[in-house]
Amino acid sequence: MSGHRVRVVEAGRVPYHQALAWQRALAQARIDGRLEEDLLLLLEHPAVVTLGRTAQGTHVLRPEGVDVVEVERGGDVTFHGPGQLVGYPILDLRRYRQDLHWYLRTLEHALIVALDGLGIPAERNAGYTGVWTRGGRKIASIGIHVKQWVTWHGFALNVTTDLSQFARIVPCGIAGVEMTSVEREGGRGTGDGSLWDETVAAVIRGFEDAFGVTEPRHASPSLTEA
């Protein structure tokens, strides 16, 4: 257990370009020492397709009607849209472990723990990054960027996402992959809130468990904070 605290910021629906600039600014502030705490940004985006460093243009099948954005994260092509919980951890890995493989596996573990809390058995898929259900359907994608051991970009967990939107792309460059969502898999928590709220709570618990952080603190969003 690291005993570190992570401030959780639930920012609602944020246009992709705006969120990208926000997390870049926060990461640079963390590198420079102007930001003294780690953050977990939780939000969703309007429909957008993003291309990671290893993306192939042929994996974008139907770009009509959405922005297509090239970014510095690892990985291939993915889709973001309403109903998808996106998490951007701004972490200084020098406080945890300076190991990118460990970081990717720990993000996966956080989501597997979260999904277990929602009643969805999930697992890794050998040779790939991300999280799958036991039925072989992909439910979460992961793509990261790290500079001077500070992270940004992160994960995308389908909650109530319109899965037909994934027909726009070859998700993560994996031909024939079947995408799924918390809703489709019958996920549920305690039943005290909406599926979205239950999923957010489960992801925070999973993050706390996987990274050994204590008492994640919530804050109001500030897109100018850096």
Which CATH number covers residue 214? Answer: 3.30.930.10
Closest CA to 118 of 193, 180, 198: 198
For residue 175, the model assigns a pLDDT of 84
111 neighbors 203 (Cβ within 8 angstroms): yes
Q: What is the largest CA-CA distance in the chain?
A: 46
**Phi and psi, residue 212, nearest 5°:** 65, 30
Task: Please indicate, yes or no, if residue 69 is contained in any of the structural domains.
Answer: yes
Task: Please indicate, yes or no, if residue 132 is contained in any of the structural domains.
Answer: yes
Q: Which residue is listed with tokens 């977990």?
A: 40
> Around Cβ 69, how many Cβ atoms within 10 Å?
13
Task: Please indicate, yes or no, if residue 174 is contained in any of the structural domains.
Answer: yes
**Phi and psi, residue 106, nearest 5°:** -75, -35
Q: What is the pTM of this model?
A: 0.93
Q: Is the pLDDT of residue 91 over 80?
A: yes
78 neighbors 172 (Cβ within 8 angstroms): yes
Task: Please indicate, yes or no, if residue 224 is contained in any of the structural domains.
Answer: no
Task: Please indicate, yes or no, if residue 1 is contained in any of the structural domains.
Answer: no
Mean pLDDT of 38-43: 96
For residues 179 and 7, what is the distance between their CA atoms, to the nearest angstrom? Answer: 30
Mean pLDDT of the residues in the chain: 92
Q: Is the pLDDT of residue 138 over 70?
A: yes
Q: Is the pLDDT of residue 1 over 50?
A: no
- Secondary-structure breakdown of the chain: helix, strand, coil percentages, each rounded to the nearest 5: 30, 30, 40
> Around Cβ 18, how many Cβ atoms within 10 Å?
13
How does pLDDT run across 196-222, given as a tens digit for each residue? 999 999 999 999 999 998 755 566 556
The count of domains in the chain is: 1
Q: Concatenated DSSP letters for 146-173?
A: EETTEEEEEEEEESS--GGGGGGB-GGG
Q: How large a percentage of the chain has pLDDT more than 70?
A: 91
**Phi and psi, residue 9, nearest 5°:** -120, 110
Helix 100-117 with 195-211: angle, nearest 10 deg: 140
40 neighbors 88 (Cβ within 8 angstroms): yes
Q: In sequence order, which ranges of the chain are alpha helices (DSSP H)?
A: 16-32, 100-117, 195-211
For residue 222, the model assigns a pLDDT of 60
Q: Which residue is listed with tokens 């549920």?
A: 188
172 tagged catalytic? yes
Among the listed residues 43, 110, 172, 179, the single catalytic one is: 172
Task: Please indicate, yes or no, if residue 211 is contained in any of the structural domains.
Answer: yes
Task: Please indicate, yes or no, if residue 225 is contained in any of the structural domains.
Answer: no
Task: Please indicate, yes or no, if residue 136 is contained in any of the structural domains.
Answer: yes
How does pLDDT run across 103-128, given as a tens digit for each residue? 999 999 999 999 999 999 999 998 89
Expressed as residue numbers, the domain containing 52 is 6-219
